[in-house]
């Protein structure tokens, strides 16, 4: 049996009780933290809190060499952990399909995702979000500025009045995390200087949620990662109230959006 | 303090450990189950598992008469529970804003949502979903068939190659839950007879995930609620493999989508 368990967003207590129980019952526990990571728990914190040993795998150890994981899962209970929800990432769908191909039972225990938190923390309604995008570091993208695929998706969402979650690049192996301020500066260059919401440390007890024009967000320091941005489309009245109360949105920016 | 806690999707163990700890520390616990509910836990199950008392509120008791909740939250630790994630629903954003307006500290402890599960269980990539829609019962919609707003959103997503989550109507007070088979029949009338994926009991240990043309899904019984449908847009190769392995998608339907 191979059970994919999402750890949620923040620390060793962000996992569901069902996930924790499955984790503790497993004979072998593998994890990866290169697609995302827990903001406030080390591997050692997880091991201590749940009284388990964790075998942390790098990208190569998951994507190129998952043989020993699959072999163990043929006869034992194996748990595979990631931050957020495990099945959001293509990599792990591939691992699941390889397991099924060998006749291994698989199961998914979901975790809270940044998408859920982005909607909940901003007060923007989940059914009014369009396609999400990821903004890469310029060096990862191979060019300055914002990829056309990102600006095109944002524009297509806005044409339909929809909000966009902008995930920010994570290079965990280099300990680099694109900051909301840097992302806002990049976007302000390629888009109009529109209203945006910076969300820092979603899922933590004390997340930062701040709405302002992109050029103003570019000047701010939102503290420790992880960060993301939300670019709102048309705002309903309650959404405007939420951005004012939860994210300190400037009144003139809300009026500007409202009158579009 | 007013803490909004998402219970997740399935039973009393779907809540995060952080959520459970906050729940148990609360002086007063209110909950509503009219926007959604836990598939396999009664209120009594929740009370027993977490050793708490829960005051279940109906819609009027949350939206029209939240006075006593707010009054308690001014001096005590109050927890407000829903299935899924609490802040996904407009109602509860309103309650949060009322609390903030009175100077009450608020906090959100997120829960797993059906959106996360829909992506994870089907193997469709989360950043390739467009706007979600909700399909109402015809009697709730006030007309036969599928509202134009729903078919328009599905069409707009498909034009961009994006997948659509179709949430199915819940009338918890009447114990009515729109079934995936009935929804597929409604959609097959108003859309072409396209590939769709039925997901039943997302978040449970044994969810059903089945891909087929709408007219074929309309003939099936997916068992106990809750159900939802996913209408895929363009499918990448790995997504096709996932639908074949995880959802038993007919090979000819995958080729049909692929060649569009």
Mean pLDDT of A20-34: 97
- The alpha carbon of residue A74 is apart from the nearest alpha carbon of chain B, in Å, by 18
Same domain assignment for residues A76 and A132? no
Confidence (pLDDT) at B260: 41
CATH assignment at residue B90: 3.40.1010.10
Three-state SS at B193: coil
Please work out, in degrees rounded to the nearest 5, the angle formed at the alpha carbon of residue A25 by the alpha carbons of B210 and A21: 70
Same domain assignment for residues B103 and B124? no
Same domain assignment for residues B208 and B133? yes
Same domain assignment for residues A120 and A77? no
Listed range (A254-258, B72-76, B118-122, B155-159) with the worst mean pLDDT:
A254-258
Same domain assignment for residues B41 and B89? yes
Confidence (pLDDT) at B175: 86
**Is residue B143's pLDDT more than 90?**
no
**Is residue B258's pLDDT more than 60?**
no
Number of domains in chain B: 2
Measure CB to CB from residue A203 to each of B12, B13, B110 and give the nearest one. Answer: B110
Measure CB to CB from residue A126 to each of B88, B162, B245 and give the nearest one. Answer: B88
Mean pLDDT of A175-203: 95
Is residue A9 marked as binding? yes
Same domain assignment for residues A70 and A118? no
Residue of A nearest to B99 (CA): A245
Confidence (pLDDT) at A76: 98
pLDDT digits (tens, 9 = 90+) for B157-175: 999 999 999 999 998 878 8
DSSP at A61: I
Same domain assignment for residues A152 and A210? yes
Q: In terms of residue numbers, what domain contains A224?
A: 114-258
Confidence (pLDDT) at A258: 47
A259 confidence band (pLDDT: 50, 70, 90)? very low
Same domain assignment for residues B164 and B62? no
DSSP at A137: -
Contact B160 A126 (CB under 8 A): no
Same domain assignment for residues A95 and A32? yes
Three-state SS at B22: helix
Mean pLDDT of A7-14: 97
User: Is there a contact between B224 and B200 (Cβ–Cβ < 8 Å)?
Assistant: yes
**Is residue A125's pLDDT more than 60?**
yes
| Phi and psi torsions of A42, nearest 5° | -85, 170
Stretch (H or E) spanning A156: helix A148-159
Interface test with B, best of A116, A147, A168, A201 (most B CBs within 10 A): A116
Confidence (pLDDT) at B124: 95
By C-alpha distance, which of A200, A157, A203 is closest to A181? A200
**Is residue A257's pLDDT more than 60?**
no
Show which of B109, B144, B161 is a domain's final residue. B109
Measure CB to CB from residue B242 to each of A88, A93, A125 and give the nearest one. Answer: A93
pLDDT digits (tens, 9 = 90+) for B172-216: 878 899 999 999 999 999 899 999 999 999 999 999 999 999 999
Show which of A109, A144, A162 is a domain's final residue. A109
Same domain assignment for residues A182 and A246? yes
Mean pLDDT of B65-74: 98
Mean pLDDT of B63-70: 96
Confidence (pLDDT) at B255: 66
Same domain assignment for residues B149 and B244? yes
CATH assignment at residue A186: 3.30.950.10
Please work out, in degrees rounded to the nearest 5, the angle formed at the alpha carbon of residue A67 by the alpha carbons of A62 and A71: 125
Confidence (pLDDT) at A255: 66
Confidence (pLDDT) at A108: 96
Longest dimension (CA), chain B: 62
Confidence (pLDDT) at B116: 92
Same domain assignment for residues A81 and A187? no
pLDDT digits (tens, 9 = 90+) for A138-182: 888 887 889 999 999 999 999 999 999 999 999 887 889 999 999
Q: How many CB pairs under 8 A join A and B?
A: 165
% of chain B at pLDDT higher than 90: 88
Residue of A nearest to B10 (CA): A18
Show which of A56, A87, A109 is a domain's final residue. A109
Confidence (pLDDT) at A62: 95
More confident: B259 or B214: B214
């Amino acid at each position: 049996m191979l059970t994919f368990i999402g750890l949620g967003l923040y620390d060793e207590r962000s996992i569901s009780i069902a996930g924790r129980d499955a984790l503790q019952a497993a004979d072998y526990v593998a994890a990866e933290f290169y697609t995302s990571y827990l903001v406030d728990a080390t591997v050692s914190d997880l091991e201590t809190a749940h009284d388990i040993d964790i075998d942390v795998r790098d990208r190569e150890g998951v994507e190129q060499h998952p043989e020993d994981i699959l072999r163990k899962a043929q006869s034992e209970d194996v748990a595979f952990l990631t931050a957020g929800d495990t099945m959001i990432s293509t990599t792990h769908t591939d691992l699941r399909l390889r397991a099924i191909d060998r006749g291994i039972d698989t199961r998914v225990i979901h975790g809270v995702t940044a998408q859920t938190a982005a909607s909940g923390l901003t007060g923007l309604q989940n059914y009014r979000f369009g396609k999400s995008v990821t903004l890469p570091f310029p060096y990862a993208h191979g060019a300055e500025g914002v990829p056309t695929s990102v600006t095109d998706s944002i524009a297509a969402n806005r044409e339909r009045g929809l909000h966009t979650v902008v995930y920010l690049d994570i290079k965990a192996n280099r300990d680099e995390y694109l900051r909301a301020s840097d992302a806002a500066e990049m976007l302000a260059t390629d888009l109009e200087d529109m209203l945006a919401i910076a969300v820092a440390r979603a899922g933590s007890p004390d997340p930062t949620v701040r709405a302002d024009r992109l050029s103003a967000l570019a000047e701010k320091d939102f503290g420790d990662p992880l960060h993301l941005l939300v670019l709102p489309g048309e705002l309903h009245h309650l959404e405007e109230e939420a951005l004012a109360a939860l994210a300190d949105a400037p009144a003139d920016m809300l009026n500007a959006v409202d009158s579009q």
